[in-house]
Structure 1
Amino acid sequence: MKFGPSYAGRLRRKTPSPRDIWHLDEVVISIAGQQHWLWRAVDQDGYVLDEIVQTRRDTKAAKRLLKRLLKKQGCAPKRLITDKLGSYAAARRQIMPRVEHRSHKGLNNRAENSHLPLQKRERAM
């Protein structure tokens, strides 16, 4: 069962208006036996703003996600909410220094929950 093309099509159709709060998170996935990271940005309403698959989980990878988000959304948010990964803070300081950043495990449930459908499908396969 291939769900990639239909999943990508649904993502492209969803183009919400820019929001004030972005929730960022990453989750490990396996592609052809190799470990990769799915980085995802979700707005305060739960809409996926962007996602990107990368082999890294460092500042360079976080910067790439933030640059893509800024280009796609056209403006910076008022607040970023992330987990405790230090790469987000370092990337935000370089790319969006005026944006407020809150990093706390409990605050990032919106982004954590956005990964659940993908994780359930991956476990079933």
Structure 2
Amino acid sequence: MSLPAAKSSYAGYRFPAEVISQAVWLYFRFPLSLRMVEEMLAARGIIVSHETVRQWALKFGQEFASRIRRRLPCGGDKWHLDEVAIKIAGVKHWLWRAVDQAGMVLDVLVQSRRDKRAAKRLLRKLLKRQCRAPRVMVTDKLPSYGAAKREVMPGVEHRQHKALNNRAENSHQPTRRRERQMKRFKSARQAQRFLSTHDQIANLFHLRRDHVTGSEHRTARARAFEMWAEISRVAAAI
């Protein structure tokens, strides 16, 4: 049943599915520019322009991210929420992000405001996506979180402390690296689209090195690559 879907996904493309999926993976998985991906492919004898890589990322990125979201287990019951300022076309915006206790990104939302209304939008999006409320919500001391929580999910325990929210704050670091590589995002829509895809692919390859042996880490990494092959339907296209 997967073969027709694979044919329709890659129909009309001159390059095989293996090349397209590899380019998309490189672009979203690592802090690489489009031209860097172009050069890495050229080193393998694959001559493709950076504009083509951009089109592949737009076409397949969100499609792959949606499949990853459906395949990965549900997020944990402890949500860490945080917001960070980003500049888009010279205007300050706020990137709101939620991660669970394992560091898996639950969702992101780019907004122009940092107030109760913006916090409510994030919480409602999370509830819709996760289909359940968390056991605990951890945030910094921004009052907007408490005000939004009291209206959207009043029964949830809320812990507000700067030191407790390091997990959410650390989750912004890959975004900062990509923001520098891309010389800032061009629009809120572009930032939302890119980060929604980037974070899901990062979730798939979120392999914790603490408390595991080298062999366990390699096994987990192999499973992630197997799932990526299934999600990108490379095996079905061979």
| Same fold flag (TM > 0.5) | yes
* Secondary structure of residue in 2 paired with 1:45: coil
Q: Is the 8 A contact 1:22 1:41 kept in 2?
A: yes
Corresponding position: 1:110 with 2:167: yes
Pick closer, same or farther for the CA change 1:117–1:110 going to 2, 3 Å: same
- What is the aligned partner in structure 1 of residue 80 from structure 2? 23
Corresponding position: 1:71 with 2:148: no
1:7 Cα deviation from its structure 2 partner: 7.2
- What is the aligned partner in structure 2 of residue 120 from structure 1? 177
* Secondary structure of residue in 2 paired with 1:52: strand
After the TM superposition, which of the residue ranges 64-73 and 29-38 deviates more from structure 2?
A: 29-38
Q: Is the 8 A contact 2:75 2:104 kept in 1?
A: no
Structure 2 counterparts to residues 1-125 of structure 1, below 5 A: 1=33, 5=58, 11-12=65-66, 13-14=68-69, 15-124=72-181, 125=183
Name the structure with the higher strand share.
1
* Secondary structure of residue in 1 paired with 2:95: strand
Pick closer, same or farther for the CA change 1:55–1:69 going to 2, 3 Å: same
* Secondary structure of residue in 1 paired with 2:179: helix
Name the structure with the higher helix share.
2
Identity in percent: 58
Please list the CA deviations of residues 30-81 of structure 1 after superposition, one character each: whole Å capped at 9, or x if unmatched: 1111111000000111010000000000000000000000000000001000
After the TM superposition, which of the residue ranges 94-103 and 6-15 deviates more from structure 2?
A: 6-15
Q: Is the 8 A contact 1:18 1:75 kept in 2?
A: no
- In structure 1, the gaps of 5 or more residues are none
- The count of corresponding residues between Structure 1 and Structure 2 is 125
Pick closer, same or farther for the CA change 1:7–1:41 going to 2, 3 Å: farther
Structure with the greater alpha carbon radius of gyration: 2
C-alpha RMSD over aligned residues: 2.1
Distance in 2 separating the partners of 1:114 and 1:9: 23
1:29 Cα deviation from its structure 2 partner: 0.6
Amino acid at match of 1:67: R
Amino acid at match of 1:51: V
Distance in 1 separating the partners of 2:142 and 2:135: 20
Distance in 2 separating the partners of 1:51 and 1:110: 15
- In structure 2, the gaps of 5 or more residues are 1-32, 35-53, 184-238
1:120 Cα deviation from its structure 2 partner: 2.2
TM-score normalized with structure 2 length: 0.49
